[in-house]
Amino acid sequence: MATSQVVIFGASGDLTGRKLIPSLLRNFAEGALRDDIQVIGVSRSEKSDKQWRDELDAWIPASLKDAWVTFRAHLTWCQANSANPEHMEHLEHHLDSLARDRGARPEEVGRLFYLALAPSLFDPTVQALDVRRMLECTPGSKVGWRRVVVEKPFGVDLESARALNQALLRYLREEQIFRIDHYLGKETVQNILSLRFQNAIFEPLWSRKHVESVEISVCETVAMEGRRGEYYDKAGATRDMLQNHVLQVLSLVAMEPPSSMRADAIRNEKVKVLDALRAFTEHDIMEHVVRAQYTSSATRDRGYLDEYGVNPKSETETYIAVRALIDNWRWSGVPFMLRTGKALSKRYTEVVLNFRTPPLDLLNGPQPGDVCPLRPNRLRLLIQPQEGVRLSFLVKQPGAGMIMRYSELGFDYSDLETGETPDAYQRLLLDALEGNATLFIRGDEVEAAWRFVDAIRHGWNHSSAPVHTYPAGSMGPRIANELYQGCEGTWGTGPEDA
């Protein structure tokens, strides 16, 4: 990789300290970033290079302190309002002179502009860079490239996402835009692709013929953490998690095999799945979607409505469960049970494929006895915090009679002894620097996901769908169990589930 500059707009913020710098540092410590990497922090605050580096000290994990001593010298600060083209001139001089210091010609240095900014600044920042012609580069060139990483949320609905796509495309080509969803950087999420497409045994079973239902649960114990109320009250679980992380996982689970591992081949298939998601009408919303808010409980004295920054009369959902349907040849009629929520009793993310039970219950016969009733075989992909795969099936319990019990074959990432799983941002930053967009979201994907989510929100606005409640520290409202009616299985209970 030729000399690269990572320009972080919003570098005095939380994301930069918590994720971006530690991830760049880890890549550097592991030798994935070359010694000529330059990181430039930008925000309106005035500070010296040393001040910025010192502020970042607090975010550096103990295991990386040694590498930090060297890496911090690669960081410089540039005070600028990213929406002001005149300030961009100052930034350009800063970047050019850093390049020359390294003996490189500025036009040959690759530049990654990372928008770690409030979404309202995405368009003005790109526009300001364009005024200075700082985004121009030769298509496909390995040197002098210009790329922009756009953080989430990408719009608040289909209309705003479309407008943002159009705005960005005025100044950039699609291949220069890297829309980030950090779930795609998680090793275990990427493993969905390798499990499905590098193994011959799963794919023949991976369809309506054998799968009864699919569950995707993203359960969180965290709530508003005292600081997120204001943002969250405008977003809710649907915009904050379902539209992006949950639907991205769904698209990897449900997509057709791509013709290659090229970014567009994969993204073409993902977008087809998102397009095939049935958009609910206000008439079927009650049957397919449950929304709820956490209340105070024995484990937590603040309910959602008591949180700082939250409107005390808010109807924003902190939990959503959906029985989604994908209207295509492979998945027609198979419910995709999606669930995500805050302040739940357990933190875990997993995907479960519930397979169809055998056509005959031979052991129980026509008169059910006391042997174990049929249960679906399940393939569970444990995404986090436990990372692995489980396949469960019924086996005969040793001894007299034919008593059945559930058993599991399992794989844990920790058994590979490859050390700590890299943070999602570590992988994504490297891919963006290398120009690999496979794990980033294309414009049409974002829009397809919003189309599905907008229909849910429209349904809520035009129906009497209630906002249920659940005690903080529970697994959500009981009524969500009704979404499973008519199909085998129930919501899983987490990694220790058997």
Dist. CA 341–CA 237, nearest whole Å: 6
Binding residue for ligand NDP (CB under 6 A) from 73, 118, 222, 498? 118
Which partner from the list ligand BG6, ligand NDP, none does 100 bind, CB cut-off 5 to 8 Å by kind?
Answer: none
Query: How far is Cα 162 from Cα 308, in angstroms, rounded to an integer?
Result: 32
- The yes or no reply on residue 45 touching ligand NDP (CB under 6 A) is yes
Helix 263-276 / helix 247-254 crossing angle, nearest 10 deg: 100
43: contact with ligand NDP by CB under 6 A = yes
Contact of 481 with 491, CB cutoff 8 Å: yes
Residue 126 and residue 148: Cα distance in Å, rounded? 8
Among 106, 119, 144, 473, binds ligand NDP (CB under 6 A): 119
409 binds, among ligand BG6, ligand NDP, none (CB under 5 to 8 A by kind): none
What does the alpha-carbon distance between residue 212 and residue 224 come to, in Å, rounded to a whole number? Answer: 35
List b or e across 38-68, with b for residues whose CB sees 16 or more CB atoms inside 10 angstroms.
bbbbbbeeebeeeebbebbeebbeeebeebb
- Nearest distance from C-beta of residue 23 to ligand NDP, angstroms: 12
Q: For residues 149-165, b (16+ Cβ closer than 10 Å) or e, as one string?
A: bbbbbbbbbbeebeebb
Q: What is the contact mask toward ligand NDP in residues 137 to 156, using x (rule: CB under 6 A)?
A: --------------xxx---
- Bridge partners of residue 322, in order along the sequence: 289, 338
- Regarding 350 and contact with ligand BG6 (CB under 6 A), the answer is no
Our finding on whether 387 is near ligand BG6 (CB under 6 A) is no
Measured from the CB of residue 78, what is the shortest distance to ligand NDP in angstroms? 10
228 touching ligand NDP, by CB under 6 A: no
Question: CB-wise, 152 or 270, nearer to ligand BG6?
Answer: 152
Q: Which one among 151, 215, 233, 240 touches ligand BG6, defined by CB under 6 A? A: 240
Q: Does position 372 bind ligand NDP by CB under 6 A?
A: no
Shortest approach of ligand NDP to residue 450 CB, angstroms?
16
Q: How far is the CB of 129 from ligand NDP (least distance, A)?
A: 12
Distance CA 252, CA 254 (A): 6
How many residues are present in the chain? 498
Per-residue x/- track, 141-160, ligand BG6 (CB under 6 A): -----------x--------
**Which of 123, 220, 387, 447 contacts ligand BG6 by CB under 6 A?**
220
Per CB under 6 A, which of residues 12..41 are in contact with ligand NDP? 12-15, 18
Q: Is the dihedral of CA 200, 202, 208, 209 positive or negative?
A: positive
Q: Binding residues for ligand BG6, how many (CB under 6 A)?
A: 4
d(CA 128, CA 89): 9
Q: Is 245 a catalytic residue?
A: yes
The answer to the question of residue 44 lying near ligand NDP (CB under 6 A) is yes
In the complex, the smallest distance separating the C-beta of residue 96 from ligand BG6, rounded to whole angstroms, is: 35
- Helix %, strand %, coil % for the chain, to 5? 40, 20, 40
* Greatest distance between any 2 Cα atoms in the chain: 84
* 44, interface contact from ligand BG6, ligand NDP, none, CB < 5-8 Å by kind: ligand NDP
Compute the chain's Rg from CA coordinates.
24
Residue with smaller CB distance to ligand BG6, 224 or 337? 224
Establish if 83 lies at the interface with ligand NDP (CB under 6 A): yes
Residues 51, 29: Cα–Cα separation, whole Å: 22
Task: Take residue 26 and report the two structure tokens written for it.
Answer: 């880890």
Which residues make Cβ contacts (< 8 Å) with residue 54, sequence separation at least 6?
A: none
Q: Are 204 and 355 in contact (CB under 8 A)?
A: no
Interface with ligand BG6 includes 233 (CB under 6 A)?
no
> Does 227 sit near ligand NDP (CB under 6 A)?
no
Q: Exactly one of 82, 318, 340, 384 binds ligand NDP (CB under 6 A); which one? A: 82
Cβ nearer to ligand BG6, comparing 8 with 383: 383
Nearer to ligand BG6, 15 or 193 (CB): 15
Which residue sits closest to ligand NDP, CB atoms considered? Answer: 13
Pick the catalytic residue: 94, 182, 245, 288?
245
DSSP E strand stretches across 331-472: 335-341, 348-355, 378-384, 388-396, 404-412, 467-471
Q: Which positions are catalytic? A: 245
The residues that touch ligand BG6, with contacts defined as CB under 6 A, are 152, 220, 222, 240
The residues that touch ligand NDP, with contacts defined as CB under 6 A, are 9-10, 12-15, 18, 42-45, 81-83, 116-119, 121, 151-153
